[in-house]
A and B are shown apart, each in its own frame.
Chain A
Amino acid sequence: MGDWMTVTDRGLSSESKTISQYTSEIKMSPSSLYSQQVLCSSIPLSKNVHSFFSAFCTEDNIEQSISYLDQELTTFGFPSLYEESKGKETKRELNIVAVLNCMNELLVLQRKNLLAQENVETQNLKLGSDMDHLQSCYSKLKEQLETSRREMIGLQERDRQLQCKNRNLHQLLKNEKDEVQKLQNIIASRATQYNHDMKRKEREYNKLKERLHQLVMNKKDKKIAMDILNYVGRADGKRGSWRTGKTEARNEDEMYKILLNDYEYRQKQILMENAELKKVLQQMKKEMISLLSPQKKKPRERVDDSTGTVISDVEEDAGELSRESMWDLSCETVREQLTNSIRKQWRILKSHVEKLDNQVSKVHLEGFNDEDVISRQDHEQETEKLELEIQQCKEMIKTQQQLLQQQLATACDDDTTSLLRDCYLLEEKERLKEEWSLFKEQKKNFERERRSFTEAAIRLGLERKAFEEERASWLKQQFLNMTTFDHQNSENVKLFSAFSGSSDRDNLIVHSRQPQKKPHNVSNGSPVCMSKLTKSLPASPSTSDFCQTRSCVSEHSSINVLNMTPEEIKPNQVGGECTNQKWSVASRPGSQEVF
């Protein structure tokens, strides 16, 4: 057993570092941890088997070695190397067939393991480069965040400055307004002062004028005179009349007469205008009635009774009014009647028009609903096609015209013309056929295009779905990696819990090793483990840390995933530090695992 221990120890020592990078759990039970370690060590053990054999078996201890191997193999569930012994005392014979079988199986196992290891290694590399990429992304985003934060601060500063400016401007505006107010007040005060001064000046001026008047007028100025040969008669031939109270009264009378005349004239004009307007109104009313009455029967079924009665009322009114020709009277009642009836009519007309509008819109809607919704593109295509057709038709007409003209011009004899006509007909038929085939081909092409388009759409949907899944798995992995990354420096060798449970091969390995080690929890597959993990997390001392990283991861990953194409997610380069990583389990981007 001492040998065994050394072997395992070696394996352990060579692998412990690698493992520590990929184990995520601190709170694993020691027993499971141990078993895990053992499990992990099993692969390098098988790899190094060759080198061990030189030391393991010598000439002296062949028997022992065989028995040891037998023991080992039986514990692993292989058939015994020895032949079934008949008795207890007899020495057991080595069964070569069994040995060879065992060896073969071991070799097969070895190959399988190697394959698995390779896969795991490549995955490891991929994940490592993914990690690098994400880290660079993370740092970039951090930088971006920083710059945007700085920008925001700058903008805030600018905003503050602008606000400050705005405030200043407001202040200025207020000042200006005050200034304007002040100036207006000044103007007003100046105006009053000016008026005052003017008045004073004017008074002085008036005084002076008065004096001048006295000086000039009171003195009997001989010069002020009219020198006239003889007085002329008045223009109207009448003699001037004395000014008396009578003339005054007459003047007043005349003035009022003039004013009255003016007012009468204006009234007449207004009356005329009114009459014309009334005429227009009447005509309008009549037309409205005539317009509405034929439709009255139809809409009556639909329209509620009130409108119908209104219409009849209106008609009665109209008849009455026109019969009595009350239009000339500008009596209040007539006016009211008129305006009311017009208003009613107008309302009816309005509702009618609205209804018509509604109908029109409904028809439109129905038209749209009847056929499948025609996309605009189709519509345009259709119109284009139709235009083309029109063009062709036009050309055809033109050619026909030309032909007709030619026919007329040539004026051939009947036979030839009929022959020619037949020719033309045949030609036309042929052309039509050609066109028809062309059209069919076009139609076919169109159909094909449509089919391809729908296929493409389906494919796109599938791709999107796959992409979503990828993203989810990738997120999960990211999350796990982040946590491992955080605990990289911890001394403990951690268990890597996330087995890809769907892989049968792995399960097989696990199961085959189970008997050797203490029972461990991992055998059930990763989902259970993960759920446990998440459940146990809140109680752990590093919860906050973990949460932080997790949130961080989720943030960044969400951004990255959105920006990245699947090709980007698959790492292209292999990081140097990842080369000696032997063991890591991760779901590949393409795997169907649901986290």
Chain B
Amino acid sequence: MNFSEVFKLSSLLCKFSPDGKYLASCVQYRLVVRDVNTLQILQLYTCLDQIQHIEWSADSLFILCAMYKRGLVQVWSLEQPEWHCKIDEGSAGLVASCWSPDGRHILNTTEFHLRITVWSLCTKSVSYIKYPKACLQGITFTRDGRYMALAERRDCKDYVSIFVCSDWQLLRHFDTDTQDLTGIEWAPNGCVLAVWDSCLEYKILLYSLDGRLLSAYSAYEWSLGIKCVAWSPSSQFLAVGSYDGKVRILNHVTWKMITEFGHPATINNPKIVVYKEAEKSPQLGLGCLSFPPPGAGAGPLPSSESKYEIASVPVSLQTLKPVTDRANPKIGIGMLAFSPDSYFLATRNDNIPNAVWVWDIQKLRLFAVLEQLSPVRTFQWDPQQPRLAICTGGSRLYLWSPAGCMSVQVPGEGDFAVLSLCWHLSGDSMALLSKDHVCLCFLETEASVSTACRQLGGHT
């Protein structure tokens, strides 16, 4: 495993281009585009203000940089550096900006969710969509980019509009049976839309592309409901994480629950491997766990090394006592992610913040639990294989695969606190983001990594 040198970064704004060739990162008001392989700066753009949001167009030709404070969006072209485009939302303000899947339209949401403006880069045309709903996840595009679903609110009722992205024609418009719609999400196959209600009510509705209600599911009443939702990449399963600390898996044939995964604080089943991160003094640590920085030999040795130990059951995990009289209590399933092959599901229960639970979807049972020393910030699956990268805001990167677990010290001067990470499309590298810096981590080829993992699995 190799690490690049660190680059400056602000606001955690760093993204790989969808084609995987470039890496865009922001430093204050500058946008830097690098080649992923050589890490050389290809382009440097200067915006009018501090950039708050960047997004690659789907064809990797354009990047939009949003400056919400000034209500501005600037678009840059990679092919024509001199080309520029500036969209000013004026006094209406700007709270969100995103590309349409074709990469030629930009959707800007004005303040107070008054409307969504659709700017075209091909024609002068501007379209407006009124009554967008102010919610967590109000816009969703199908994976093929053909359709957009938009949550709307009119006359105290929730609606969903489905647009054809090619000409922004309204295809379907229907009201949903929700009290206060919070999120919508297309299934990866683009034929089913999941719509869920606010946390006050456990309700998830499934609509077909043509607006028919396929099914409605509610697990319980009178308690805080859904916290997060994720489709499996195969569109077969819909995982619903809720405030009761359970994940419920719905199937795509009957839309009924297949199973529910509880997240108890103690694990008694001896079949489940519990990896516990343990800190060791460097003398005791073995070479295979610490990865000395090959490029930067001058870097100081880490004060301590961490490694995974297989805890013997029963294991009791560290739990947080949630403050229940405040809004957004730290309970329930806050993060859910399916592996790209749909075989595994990674979850985090917010009142057991140090643990990541990996579930085997084929056998519908718990597969492994990783307990970190500090709360898990983010985890993300390798886009190519069942391999999970986890960061906890410390200077280490953690990787899990069915073969085993490992923790890697990020080299560099001082501590590189990994706050976020994102995988490269190929799964060969990932960007590790700290508050002020970004660093690329290159993983070895698949074979060598898997053998290393196996070795580690054997050692732990």
* Chain A residues proximal to chain B, CB less than 8 Å: 184, 187, 191, 195, 198-199, 202-203, 206, 209, 212-213, 216-217, 221-236, 240-241, 243, 247-248, 251-252, 254-256, 258-259, 262
Contact = CB atoms under 8 A, between A and B. Distances in A.
Contacts of A221: 90-92
Given A184-B222, A229-B83, A234-B102, A216 B88 contact: no
Given A216-B114, A229-B84, A243 B169 contact: yes
Given A229-B83, A251-B169, A216 B91 contact: yes
- Can you list the 7 inter-chain pairs with the closest CB atoms, starting with the nearest? A223-B90, A224-B90, A228-B85, A262-B191, A227-B86, A221-B90, A199-B156
A195 B210 CA distance: 30
Given A231-B121, A258-B209, A202 B156 contact: yes
B265 interface: no
Contact of B122 (A184, A233, A251, A254): A233
Nearest to A219: B91
B169 A213 contact: no
B167 A247 contact: yes
Interface string B140-157: 000000110000010110
Contact of B85 (A227, A240, A247, A248): A227
Give the interface centre of A209, A216, A230, A243 by most chain B CB atoms within 10 Å. Answer: A216
Given A216-B114, A233-B122, A258-B146, A224 B89 contact: yes
Given A224-B88, A229-B82, A236-B102, 10 more contacts: A217-B114, A226-B88, A226-B126, A229-B84, A230-B83, A231-B122, A233-B122, A240-B120, A256-B210, A259-B210
Contact of A248 (B89, B91, B115, B169): B169
A235 B59 contact: yes
Interface in B164-190: 164, 167, 169, 171, 179-180, 189-190
A213 B189 CA distance: 37
B107 to A, nearest CB: 13
A243 B85 CA distance: 26
Contacts of A258: 146, 190-191, 209
B112 interface: yes
A199 B179 CA distance: 10
B208 interface: yes
Given A199-B156, A216-B92, A209 B210 contact: no
Given A235-B59, A240-B123, A255-B209, A229 B85 contact: yes
A262 B214 CA distance: 14
Nearest to B113: A209
Contacts of A224: 88-92
A203 B210 CA distance: 30
A256 B147 CA distance: 13
| Interface range, B side | 35 or more
Interface in B103-121: 103-104, 112, 114-115, 119-121
A184 B223 CA distance: 11
A281 B114 CA distance: 61
Nearest to B164: A251
A595 B121 CA distance: 126
Contacts of B88: 223-227
A259 B85 CA distance: 38
B286 interface: no
Interface of B: 58-59, 77, 82-92, 102-104, 112, 114-115, 119-126, 146-147, 153, 155-156, 164, 167, 169, 171, 179-180, 189-191, 200, 208-210, 222
Contact of A251 (B58, B103, B156, B171): B171
A226 B89 CA distance: 9
Give the interface centre of A202, A223, A236, A255 by most chain B CB atoms within 10 Å. Answer: A255
A515 to B, nearest CB: 100
Contacts of A251: 164, 167, 169, 171
A232 B122 contact: yes
A212 B222 CA distance: 37
6 contacts: A199-B156, A234-B102, A235-B59, A243-B167, A247-B167, A251-B169
A203 to B, nearest CB: 7
B92 A240 contact: no
B122 A217 contact: no
A248 B190 CA distance: 19
A40 to B, nearest CB: 89
B169 A247 contact: yes
Given A228-B85, A229-B84, A251-B164, A212 B191 contact: no
Contacts of B169: 243, 247-248, 251
A232 B114 contact: no
Contacts of A229: 82-85
Contacts of B89: 223-224
Contacts of A247: 167, 169
Contacts, number: 114
Given A228-B85, A235-B104, A209 B114 contact: yes
B102 to A, nearest CB: 5
Contacts of B102: 234-236
Contact of A213 (B58, B115, B126, B191): B115
A203 B153 CA distance: 11
A561 B112 CA distance: 100
B56 to A, nearest CB: 13
A300 B167 CA distance: 76
Nearest to A203: B156
A206 B131 CA distance: 9
Contacts of A195: 179
A226 B85 contact: yes
Given A235-B104, A251-B171, A226 B91 contact: no
Contacts of A232: 77, 83, 104, 121-122
B122 A259 contact: no
Contacts of A225: 87-88, 90
A154 to B, nearest CB: 44
A212 B146 CA distance: 33
A240 B122 contact: yes
Nearest to A270: B253
B336 to A, nearest CB: 24
A213 B114 contact: yes
Contacts of A252: 171
A5 B84 CA distance: 162
Contacts of A241: 167
Contacts of A256: 210
A107 to B, nearest CB: 99
A274 B124 CA distance: 54
A288 to B, nearest CB: 29
Contact of A259 (B86, B180, B208, B222): B208
A227 B84 CA distance: 8
Nearest to B126: A226
A293 to B, nearest CB: 38
A490 B209 CA distance: 114
Given A221-B92, A247-B169, A235 B103 contact: yes
A240 B83 contact: no
Contacts of A206: 155-156
B94 to A, nearest CB: 11
Given A212-B114, A235-B104, A255 B90 contact: no
A205 to B, nearest CB: 9
A212 B115 CA distance: 11
B45 to A, nearest CB: 13
Nearest to B103: A235
Contact of B87 (A191, A209, A226): A226
Contacts of B59: 235
A446 B274 CA distance: 60
A217 B209 contact: no
A268 to B, nearest CB: 14
Contacts of A236: 102
B164 A217 contact: no
Nearest to B125: A240
B112 A228 contact: no
Contacts of B104: 232, 234-235
A223 B164 contact: no
